[in-house]
Structure 1
């Protein structure tokens, strides 16, 4: 793979990391849906860019292994399907009233009144948590397939929280990018 393709993948990873920082800095749940979608979109853009650059004798089979991990790892698969549902409107990406909760993409938010002041309340499972911004991941529906919130990532338990998931995805992107660097301008790769 050439330096230009590698740099493109680095740029996409940098944008994904910036989107993660925005997500982490949110103090108001109203921006969470957009920030979550932006992170999912740029995370996927990284993998798309990586696939385009992995065309050589050595890099193509290596990327096949990365693709296999992404398909088989519960967290990485969930994140990919959440991006598909979010971007393509396949899943529940608009706010719809269900009981006292608003379902928005892969998390639940409810706005309620305390006295005369409206307060956003966040549901973590069945527990009501406020005023901190905690967003609960929910199953993602992509056409007729349902992807439950995973509790495993790379054969290790993982807490089902959206920032934990986003940080794990970002670590995977960074690790993958470091591994891809061995193919840059490698004459044995032949790309």
Structure 2
């Protein structure tokens, strides 16, 4: 039995995460995210192709098959991949950052004498009272995807734990951890006999 193709896909999926982390544009990020969705699904399908004729495969795969149908994160990864491959809708969006200007003390007031932006988007603030500036960085979020008329929202939980992130990188890392464990289990069961 050859599980090397599954290991290759897992390593490629990991490289997609690194590409997302180092992307210098949303287009690069989104391309790496779409590639990740394909690679992570390939890990599962290549394990299935390699092992499905083995007598232990049905019992080995039953828990994972169940989770792929019920776990919010695993369902989303699978359906986002299907949406990318069979549809035209995006599975992520760019969220523009900004900044907030607040009084230093809660309930206080803010007085701004001057607020200007230069041609590079840099801001210059001349405050007339003490202020607190909160910078909100730009980000990318996973968004709902549609497949065969059904909408799948970004995951809100994984393996019984709540998720408070819509970051494709965070979602991808959890997907890697899950499928890395599944592949290691497959290698243990099918290759160490």
Please report the TM-score for the alignment, with normalisation by the length of structure 2: 0.74
Q: Does 1:155 align with 2:156?
A: no
Q: Does 1:182 align with 2:179?
A: no
5+ residue gaps, structure 1, are 94-104, 120-127
Query: Per-residue displacement from partner, 1:96-125 (whole Å, max 9, x unpaired)?
Result: xxxxxxxxx3223469xx654489xxxxxx
Name 2:76's counterpart in structure 1: 78
CA distance in 1, matches of 2:121, 2:65: 45
4+ runs deviating over 3 angstroms: 108-111, 114-119
| Partners of 1:136 and 1:162 within 8 A in 2 | yes
1:7 CA displacement: 1.3
Structure showing greater Rg: 2
Aligned with residue 13 of structure 1, among 7, 10, 27:
10
5+ residue gaps, structure 2, are 98-116, 123-134
Count of residues in correspondence between the two structures? 161
Please report the TM-score for the alignment, with normalisation by the length of structure 1: 0.74
Name 1:58's counterpart in structure 2: 56
1:61 CA displacement: 2.3
CA distance in 1, matches of 2:5, 2:148: 31
| Partners of 1:6 and 1:184 within 8 A in 2 | no
Name 1:101's counterpart in structure 2: none
